[in-house]
Each structure stands twice: as C-alpha cells, then as structure tokens.
Chain A
Amino acid sequence: MAGSSKIRTDESLLSRLDRGFFSLESFLNFIGGVVILAVVLLAVANIIGRKFFNTPVDGYIDWVEQSMGFFAFFGIAYCHRLGGHIRMDIFVGFLKGRALWLFELLATTLMLLLTVPLIYGAYLHFNRAFVNGDSSFDIDLPTWPAKLVVPVMLSVLAVRLILHVWAYARALRTGDEHPVAVPLIEDVATQVRNEAEAAGVSYDKDGKES
C-alpha cells in the first residue's frame, strides 16, 4: 500500500550517500509543491483578470501545460525514497530476511531496467523539441524545458534506484534484518501511524497521541 516509511541510518558510506541525496530529492519535491502553488495563483489571477478586468493571463493554458511536467516529475525520486509509490505488499509482506531482500532486489532492478531506456527515449523526445524549436500553441513558449524535466528527473530516480540496489544487495549478502538506506516494510501499526502523521495527527516520543 502507499505510505511513508522510516529509513534506518548509520555512518556507512551508503547511508551517508543516501542522506545526502535525500536532501537533493527533498528540495526537488519542494520545488514541485511550489509549482502547484504557482498554478493555483496563476489560475486565480486568470479568473480575476478575466471576470473583473477583461484581461485574462496571456497564454494561461500554455503556462499550465508547461508547468505540469514539473510537478508530475520533480518529486519522483523523493516519493520512491520514502516508499510512497503504491504497491501490493501482500506477498513480500510475508517474507523475511534474505528472501525478502532477494525479491526487493529483483523488483528494484526491474524498475532500474525500465528507467534507463526510458531516460534515453525521453531525452530523444526533448532533443527533437530542442532541435526543431517546438513551441506552445498560444504564446509560443518553447516546449523543450518541460520535456527536459522528464529525462533529468528520471536520471535522479535512476541514481536513487542504484542506491537501493546497492542497499538490498548488501542486505542480501549480510543477512541484516534492518538494512540502512531503504524503506522497510513496517508492521501495520507503524505504517498507519505514518499515514496519520501525514494527515496531521501527531504523537509524542512514547507513541502516545499528542
């Protein structure tokens, strides 16, 4: 199921890389959120301008369409790092130890194998727009910046996936029950507590609701 997961840390190189990279991912996700807010403000300006001053925002649809790549992709690695992309864990939820890390390694490798050709395909899509000088319908905004977002953000995701492959492979080798740098499948109580915290319910350090 969807949900945030806690990630264990230590002083190993992998964990330090994980945390360092997470700062970048968090910043990118924040930019995605800011773009959503910008779309909200732009739409409000458009309505007010159109209704009361008969001057809608010039190229409003173009701006919205070009902004979509930003909020649809900027947080993709952040979301993955926190285990936020939904999945069915009814099967892997039964596994423990090395068997679990083997399947996590397999699933993550499959995702990486998809992401790499997709980066190349998305880059070609951007390159065609860049070379041909494609622009939007209304106010001729260049479309290549929004198209460039996709291969760049998928590359960020690929780095995250490589870190996860590394972490799961290490866990498989050592048989560690609680490896660092990867989202762990949590018991239901913990998972739900995270869901509730995401919805604004907070707890003190003893786990009591506060």
Chain B
Amino acid sequence: MDIASTLTSMAPLDIGLWVTGIMLFAVVIGVRVAFAAAIAGMIGLIWYFATKMPIEKALLVSMKMAGTIPHSKVSTSALSLIPVFILIGFLAYHAGLTRALFEAAKRWVGWLPGGMGVATVFSTAGFAAVSGASVATAAVFARIAIPEMLKLGYDKRFAAGVVAAGGTLASLIPPSAILVIYAIIVEQDVGALLLAGFIPGIVSALIYGGLIIGLAKSVRSFGPPVSGYSWKERFASLPATSPIIFVIAIIIFSVYGGWGTPTEAGALGAFVVMCIAIYRGMRWGNLKEALMEAGKLTVMIFTIIWGVLLYVRFLGFVDLPSAFAEWIAALEQNPMITLLFILLAYAVLGMFMDAIGMLLLTLPVVFPAVIALNGGPDVSAADSAFGLTATGCAIWFGIVVVKMAEFCLITPPIGLNCFVVAGVREDLSVQDVFKGVTPFFIADIITIGVLIAFPGIVVWLPSLVLGN
C-alpha cells in the first residue's frame, strides 16, 4: 500500500491523534499558538474528508468549512465583553486609579504588621476589579508599591514577591478576561463564571494578607507598620478611589440586577473610567495609545479563539474528546486522584506556556474528560464523583484551573510576573523575586487545595445569585 492510501484508510481516532501531535510539534517549533491550532484543524479536516471522498473534493470542502469559522465563531455578542474589559484596564491606568488605590490602602491597612505589603495586595485586588490582566497589574504596582516599601526598610526580595503574587489576583476577581474565555470555550454562562471567581479571589487576597502579617510578626525586620494617619486623612483618600467602587457597583448591579448584559455593564464601566481619565488630563495621545493596545490585545485573544475552534471543529469529526473522556472515566482509580494528575499536568505545562494559550489548546479535550470523571453531563450532585452537578463541576473546574494557570505566573522557570517585576526594577534580579515570592507560592498551593477540597466556596455565590 502506498502512503496516500495508508493515510486515507486510517481510523478517525488515529487521525485525531496524529493531527494533535502535529499541532504540538508546530507549537514547539515556534508557530504562534493560534495558527498552530488552526493549521492542525485545517490539516485534520482535509485528512478526514480525504478518507470519505476524492482529495480534490476533500480540499474544497475543508476550505469552505474552515473559511466560515473565523467569522462565525467571533461574531457572537457574548464575546464582545472581552475588548470592553480590556479597554477598561488601559483606561484605568490613564485615569490614575492605581496610585489612588494604593494610597487609600496604605492609609487604611498600613498600620498592620507588614502593612505596606497588605496594602499592596489589597490595592492589586482592587485594580483587578477593573482590569483583567495579571501581567499589567504586576508591572504597574512594581513601579508604585516597591519604592514605598523599600523606603520603609522592607526586605527588597519580599517587596518584589508581594507585587508579583498580587498581580495574579486579576485572573479570578471579576472581570477576568481568562474566565470569560473559559466560559465561552466550555459553553457555560459567563456571568456565573465571573461571579464564581469572586470569593476565591477574595480568599486568595486574604490568604496573601494573612501570610504577610504572619511573616512580619515572626521576622522583626520584615516590614514595619505605617502609622500616624488620622481618620480624616483616611476618609480623604477615598474619593479618588470612588470610580473603582462605582465601576464594580455598576457591573454587579447591571449583570445580576438585570439592568443589562455583561457587555453593557462593562461598557458603562469603561465609559465612566474614560470620562474620569479625560477629566484628570488624559490627552488624545493617551487615548490613542489605549485604543491601539486594546485593539492589539483583542486581536491576539480572538485569533486564538477562532484558531482553536477550527481545531475543535475537526475534533468533533474524529471523536477524540469523547474517546479521551471514556478512557479517563474508565480508569480504575479514585476520580479525585485523576483530577489531581490533570491539574499537575497543567502546573507543568503552565511553566512553559502562556495561561490563555495553554487553556484554550487543552480544554477541548480535557474539559469533556473532567465532566465524564464527575459522572457525565446529566449527573446529579448526589451521584457525582465531586459532589457537583455537571454545571457546578464546569464552574468549579474553571476556577481551579485558572488559579492553577495563574499560579504558574510566579513559578520558575518562566513565571512571567516575576520577570516583569525584575524587569521594572533595575536593582532586583529574577532570582531575588523568585525567592521573595516563595511564601506566596506555598500560599497558592494551600488556596488550590482549599478550592479542591471545598467546591462550595466556588459554586455557592453563583448558585445563590443565579439559582441552580
């Protein structure tokens, strides 16, 4: 048999495995993730159709099918949320909200042991509430918070670690771009996912805060408190942060009070932040820069979405996800152990790959397997492996896996947030930041353990607000 007839007589599942291998090879040799997925999808469609029809016809059908995907998959109004939330983040910086937040946090919680560290964590959490991007948060706060901490005699490695870790909070506290993308890929309610991130985000911030206080109490020179602010001065710091509270309130009331869609809520928030930025002196050049950056980041995310969905279209023909799900579900071991192995694989993968790319490439295959592991799409909470319905499991897994992906932002060898902080501060090496971030690394493992052991922390708020 010649090669062509061997290829065209292959079983669909084998084609799926080969094409997935081609995709991974393309990713490794440096093809952009979005295009590697799309190339695999295109090759896969041609190969699959070539087993059913003459090659010329297979080529044409594949091109026609693939040609519809970029437009049809991005023209979904739910996805319009992404650019709007991205724009809020860029405008918030120009509106001076980051510095205002840090100043207020310093006055309100600076008196605690390690107070400036706590203030940094809380202000990054506050900034996260209007920005969906971790790396940008770390870069901005490295400039604002580290000099203040060093002035007060904080250990420079610890100061850098606080900022690198604080930046990761943006991935969970709504609005998180990565959770929106997860929701769309696994076809879950965007509002439910955003809401589900809220408590785990706050828990993460509190665990970070508690850790800093504990460290400051046990090591004398770690970080002195900042005292001397009167109540008047504390309250005086609040008006400058009011836009953030206003934006959060708008988003919560709009989405969960039924005023409008998440996009409309985000748009209202973006509009308010833009007005404030203009009032505070944002010039045309700044606005243009914000629009250029928002445009570029939006295209990057949408390209991955349609690229991966082209691959998913092919996967649908060869049934690879369901075969993988059946295999996972048939493993004779505790489903929780299997889940832990999956999460461990993400931890390793996340050390080498960007969080969004990693999740989008793997979810089409891994997500159905996790649902199967829980007991399938129709399982009741009582009969399931993790004590959750399929929807609950989808939301819970989303939060855990996103926390896992963001945890990789502070782990060696390529924890990007650590590189960002070291890059902004000339006096810090990457090793310094990795050393400083180690306690947070342990705190994150505890947080992930808590989220896995108590899924109720994740699903309680969405089920309370949105019902079951």
Please report A residues at the B interface, Cβ cutoff 8 Å: 1-2, 26, 29-30, 32-34, 36-37, 39-44, 46-47, 50-51, 61, 64-69, 71-76, 78-80, 82, 84-92, 103-104, 106-107, 110-111, 113-114, 117-118, 120-125, 146-147, 149-150, 154, 188-189, 191-193, 195-196, 198-201, 207-209
Contact = CB atoms under 8 A, between A and B. Distances in A.
A192 B419 contact: yes
Contacts of B280: none
Interface in B438-452: none
B70 A122 contact: yes
A200 B93 contact: yes
Contacts of A39: 80, 83-84, 263, 267
Contact of B303 (A1, A26, A32, A79): A79
Given A36-B294, A88-B27, 14 more contacts: A2-B300, A51-B259, A64-B80, A79-B300, A88-B33, A89-B30, A106-B29, A107-B32, A118-B63, A118-B70, A121-B64, A121-B66, A188-B419, A207-B426
A50 B352 CA distance: 47
B404 interface: no
B354 interface: yes
Contact of B296 (A1, A84, A199): A84
B347 interface: no
Contacts of B186: none
Contacts of B372: none
Nearest to B304: A86
- Secondary structure at the B interface, as helix, strand, loop or mixed, is helix
**Which of A78, A147, A199 has the largest number of chain B CB atoms within 10 A?**
A199
Between A42, A72, A79, A201, the greatest number of chain B beta carbons within 10 A of the residue's beta carbon is seen for: A72
Contacts of B290: 33
Contact of B135 (A29, A68, A154, A199): A199
Given A87-B27, A110-B35, A201-B424, A34 B300 contact: no
Nearest to A43: B267
B268 interface: yes
B299 A76 contact: yes
Contacts of A89: 30
A29 B299 contact: yes
B314 to A, nearest CB: 13
Q: Give the interface centre of A42, A192, A209 by most chain B CB atoms within 10 Å.
A: A192
B293 interface: yes
A106 B356 CA distance: 24
A162 B83 CA distance: 29
B299 A199 contact: no
**Most A Cβ at <10 Å: residue of B59, B62, B353:** B353
Contacts of B74: 68-69, 72-73
Contacts of B270: 40
A40 B267 contact: yes
B247 to A, nearest CB: 13
- State the main secondary structure of chain A at its contact with B: helix
Contacts of A71: 83, 295, 298-299, 302
Contacts of B303: 72, 76, 79, 85
B139 A121 contact: no
B38 interface: yes
Contact of B298 (A34, A72, A82): A72
A66 B75 contact: yes
Closest 9 CB pairs of A and B: A121-B67, A192-B423, A33-B291, A43-B267, A33-B295, A72-B302, A199-B139, A32-B295, A85-B32
B159 interface: no
B63 A117 contact: yes
A188 B422 CA distance: 10
Interface in B58-109: 59, 62-68, 70-72, 74-77, 79-80, 83-84, 86-87, 93-94
Contacts of A37: 87, 291
Contacts of B59: 117
A79 B75 CA distance: 20
Contacts of A67: 80
A87 B356 CA distance: 11
A66 B71 CA distance: 10
8 contacts: A36-B294, A36-B298, A79-B303, A88-B28, A88-B352, A88-B357, A122-B71, A199-B93
Interface in B23-65: 26-35, 38-39, 42, 59, 62-65
B264 interface: yes
Contacts of B302: 71-73
A199 B136 contact: yes
